[in-house]
Structure 1
Amino acid sequence: MKAIVSLNAGSSSIKFALYRLVDDALTFDAGGKIEEIGSRPRLKARNADGEIILERDWPADSAISHAHLLEDLFGWAATQLGDRQIVAIGHRIVHGGVRFAAPRIVDDALLGALETLIPLAPLHQPHNLAAVRALRALAPDLPQIACFDTAFHHDLPALATRLPLPRSFHEEGVRRYGFHGLSYEHIARRLRDIDPLYAGGRVIAAHLGNGASLCAMNGGASVDTTMGFTALDGLMMGTRTGALDPGVILYLQTHQGMSVAEVETLLYKQSGLLGVSGVSSDMRTLHASAAPEAGEAIDLFVRQAARQAASLIPSLGGLDGLVFTAGIGENDPVIRARICDCLAWTGLMLDPDANRRNDPLISTPGSKVAVRVIPTDEEAVIAGHVMTLLKPDGRPDGWIAS
């Protein structure tokens, strides 16, 4: 009677999912999210039928920490799972660097190595590792598994990893890594289930949410992606700039007198949809706004998404499919339609009615490019990795008990 918990701890949110082990297979039990950490934390959890089973709010002026929220969440998870023993917790760790691709059981040495990568993912890595440390304090004997968001891109073609800098920097690790790998891994698996022939082709997956990127997959493997050295690269995002002329940074420092810390805050937390619109980082709020700046932010997001999708096609040698996923990709037919309009030159033809309904397949039968909407599930990928790692002999009795 065992269970696994998947965690994705960010700067202002904690996503979680609980899985029961039934007949040597994982069954989703419940999941949800704690949002607005640092301002007014609120928790909502749903069961496997989508019914809300828990809602909780904390005071608006609360300075409650991630560690305290995790303690509350861990206690509720144990109650929710009843007599099932939590045998491991899997974590999304954004950056694994060059060394780490396969999931790893966390120990002191691994934690130390991952801390050295914080400068490469300052918005995510500190919170990922803080969650690990908090749960080690709560349950020191419970195995924790690190699953790396860079792993799916670990075997990128060598040329796709290189930046146009002196070679010595590349050898030091200044190279392109790629991110959102757990999401893309899920998409690649779902494609194999939905249509093996399609999955074996040339596909661009668009992970469009508060964080956004694109991945070119050939035969289900990553061959190119828009995020590079950090999760700041590529598309404009909710608050991040995406790709930016490096001369802008030099200008901000030399002529505007901005410090490194100020530039970092600007690029990671004050730019993107929020910076351009001056209204919000949330696409839903921008759609509802009458401000012309909100419309311009949407226009720029669409233009960049289409432009960068087109830039990945040479890495594939053509395009057979386009997949939309994540918050915007799964739920925003307007953004999907506008991006597809920009890519009509590829032979892509969108079915407007199917797109409005959020159907799994939203291209027309005559389209040269199949367009799909596939919900991402990073937590399920994490749980699967945990199960595999803790069952080296492939048998239920091979599990490590807490």
Structure 2
Amino acid sequence: MIAAPVTPAIATLNTGSSSLKFRIFARDSLDLLMSGKVTGIGTDCRMNAKVTGTGAQIAQELPGADQEAALAAVIACIDAHDDDWRIDAFAHRIVHGGATFTAPVIVTPEVMAELQTLCPLAPLHQPYNLAGIAASGRLAPDAQDIACFDTAFHAGHSEVVHSFALPQAMRDAGVRRYGFHGISYEWIARMLAEQRPDLAAGRVVAAHLGNGASLCALRGGRSLDTTMGMSALDGLPMGSRSGALDAGAVTYMMRRFGLDADALDHMLYEDSGLKGLSGLTNDVATLVASDDPRAAFALDCFTYRVAQYVGAMAVAMGGIDAVVFTGGIGENAPGLRGAVLDRIGFLGPVESLVIPANEERMMAIHARELLETRLELMP
């Protein structure tokens, strides 16, 4: 009997504090082989996955699992339901690359050590991203670990764009604007180049609107500016994050309400944004369907800020030709898209498009390119 051919594959991982999202792509064709998500890490943990070719659905309870146990379950699931796939690489979404990492890299002990130093810049995300790398390194040591950074696409910003008006000592210590959602924006730039080269060469505001939200000024496929800054808290109000906030308001709240840094982080990341504005929820579909005036108020605040920042991005580009919406809200809330476009009508004719987000495929593309480069360099 002739053995079935082995399919080299790339696994993309997005490891967070309470969830692990994964997709498996064929390395050569980038066809999607499997996708899934582990939720409730550390508490009521559960994995759900789907095998693309057969349509098989997998559901498994993983009570109390941490990030490593969750990834072990994912790897076991792949082994049990694959069709002779061989995972050549794990492409990890890493929220912060700082000023050092301006492109995806193969993870080495030296790279890992440098990434650890960036944890203070993204304390609610980076440690869990790195836990995913550590876990895959132990569980699948024969596969390459590749880090893909949310900040890298914005690395070419000018000093004017990424500088805060702070003393030099603060800026030298890394207190500057980095920008995030870069993997998503890189995918948008790639899709525009393939599908609408006329717009790709022009001035486009890409709007990644989801539970995390930001805008990016794209000219000629390059990021010129973005609304997020040093952290993923800046810019637009989001699902449960405040967005841009007067620094004086932060120090006032600390003194007035006796909040320490941890309590303040929790409020600004978990209890603000649409959730805080409405006093109801961060779920946009629920807010849209609600007749509670607080829901309408929250959505009005959101679309106002999005439109306001579209204007700021237009300044960065010297005009605007189109707005591209992506992300859960951007793709699925036509009423909110319309409200934003109505508010920017004074800017003149602006084309509007929706391009579905596919950060995982962008990560797989990067991983494949790095693997191929590594093979070419081998003696």
User: Scaled by the length of structure 2, what TM-score is found?
Assistant: 0.93
Whether the 8 Å contact between 2:211 and 2:240 is mirrored in structure 1 is: yes
**Alignment-derived partner of residue 59 in structure 2:** 56
Partner of 1:204: helix, strand, or coil?
strand
Whole-angstrom CA distance in 2 between matches of 1:178 and 1:114: 17
Whole-angstrom CA distance in 2 between matches of 1:114 and 1:393: 21
In the TM superposition, 1:269-288 aligns within 5 A as 269-288=270-289
**Alignment-derived partner of residue 218 in structure 1:** 219
Gap change, CA 1:269 and 1:248, over 3 Å in 2: same
**Alignment-derived partner of residue 19 in structure 2:** 13
Whole-angstrom CA distance in 2 between matches of 1:207 and 1:344: 20
Partner of 1:235: helix, strand, or coil?
coil
Deviation per residue, 1:352-373 (Å, 9 max, x gap) = xxxxxxxxxxxxxxxx211100
Shift, 1:167, TM fit: 1.9
Paired amino acid for 2:115: L
Whether the 8 Å contact between 2:49 and 2:59 is mirrored in structure 1 is: no
Whole-angstrom CA distance in 1 between matches of 2:287 and 2:374: 51
Gap change, CA 1:399 and 1:289, over 3 Å in 2: farther
Number of residue pairs aligned between Structure 1 and Structure 2: 373
Does residue 387 (structure 1) correspond to residue 377 (structure 2)? The answer is no
Gap change, CA 1:48 and 1:203, over 3 Å in 2: farther
1:35 to 27, 35, 39: 39
Whether the 8 Å contact between 1:391 and 1:399 is mirrored in structure 2 is: no
Whether the 8 Å contact between 2:25 and 2:34 is mirrored in structure 1 is: yes
Whole-angstrom CA distance in 2 between matches of 1:288 and 1:142: 46
**Alignment-derived partner of residue 352 in structure 1:** none
Deviation per residue, 1:257-304 (Å, 9 max, x gap) = 111111111111111111122211111122233332222211111111
Paired amino acid for 1:4: I
Shift, 1:109, TM fit: 1.7
Whole-angstrom CA distance in 2 between matches of 1:4 and 1:78: 14
Partner of 1:5: helix, strand, or coil?
strand
Whole-angstrom CA distance in 2 between matches of 1:237 and 1:34: 23
**Alignment-derived partner of residue 44 in structure 1:** 48
Whole-angstrom CA distance in 2 between matches of 1:377 and 1:292: 34
Paired amino acid for 2:174: G
Shift, 1:307, TM fit: 1.0
Whole-angstrom CA distance in 2 between matches of 1:145 and 1:7: 10
User: Scaled by the length of structure 1, what TM-score is found?
Assistant: 0.88
Shift, 1:195, TM fit: 1.1
Whether the 8 Å contact between 1:42 and 1:55 is mirrored in structure 2 is: no
**Alignment-derived partner of residue 196 in structure 2:** 195
Name which of structure 1's ranges 227-236 and 114-123 shifts more when overlaid on structure 2: 114-123
Does residue 292 (structure 1) correspond to residue 270 (structure 2)? The answer is no
Work out the percentage of aligned pairs sharing the same amino acid. Answer: 44
Whole-angstrom CA distance in 1 between matches of 2:134 and 2:201: 40
Shift, 1:79, TM fit: 3.1
**Alignment-derived partner of residue 378 in structure 1:** 359
Gap runs ≥5 in structure 1: 348-367
Whether the 8 Å contact between 2:50 and 2:58 is mirrored in structure 1 is: no
Shift, 1:80, TM fit: 3.3
Shift, 1:53, TM fit: 2.8
Partner of 2:27: helix, strand, or coil?
strand
Whether the 8 Å contact between 1:40 and 1:57 is mirrored in structure 2 is: no
Whole-angstrom CA distance in 2 between matches of 1:334 and 1:281: 17
Shift, 1:344, TM fit: 1.1
Shift, 1:393, TM fit: 6.6
Shift, 1:54, TM fit: 2.0
Whole-angstrom CA distance in 1 between matches of 2:356 and 2:48: 19
Gap change, CA 1:26 and 1:326, over 3 Å in 2: same
Shift, 1:26, TM fit: 2.2
In the TM superposition, 1:58-73 aligns within 5 A as 58=61, 62-73=63-74
Paired amino acid for 1:327: G
Whole-angstrom CA distance in 2 between matches of 1:11 and 1:344: 40
Shift, 1:38, TM fit: 4.6
Whole-angstrom CA distance in 1 between matches of 2:102 and 2:298: 35
Gap change, CA 1:276 and 1:57, over 3 Å in 2: farther
Whether the 8 Å contact between 1:306 and 1:339 is mirrored in structure 2 is: yes
Shift, 1:15, TM fit: 1.7
Does residue 260 (structure 1) correspond to residue 261 (structure 2)? The answer is yes
Gap change, CA 1:295 and 1:55, over 3 Å in 2: farther
Shift, 1:84, TM fit: 2.1
How large is the Cα RMSD of the aligned pairs?
Answer: 2.0
In the TM superposition, 1:79-118 aligns within 5 A as 79-118=80-119
In the TM superposition, 1:144-163 aligns within 5 A as 144-163=145-164
Gap change, CA 1:42 and 1:220, over 3 Å in 2: same
Partner of 2:373: helix, strand, or coil?
coil
Whether the 8 Å contact between 2:323 and 2:353 is mirrored in structure 1 is: yes
Shift, 1:123, TM fit: 2.1
**Alignment-derived partner of residue 363 in structure 1:** none
Deviation per residue, 1:145-196 (Å, 9 max, x gap) = 0011101000012211110101222222111100000000000000001111
Gap runs ≥5 in structure 2: 1-5
Whole-angstrom CA distance in 1 between matches of 2:16 and 2:33: 22
Name which of structure 1's ranges 338-347 and 33-42 shifts more when overlaid on structure 2: 33-42
Deviation per residue, 1:324-348 (Å, 9 max, x gap) = 001110111111111111111122x
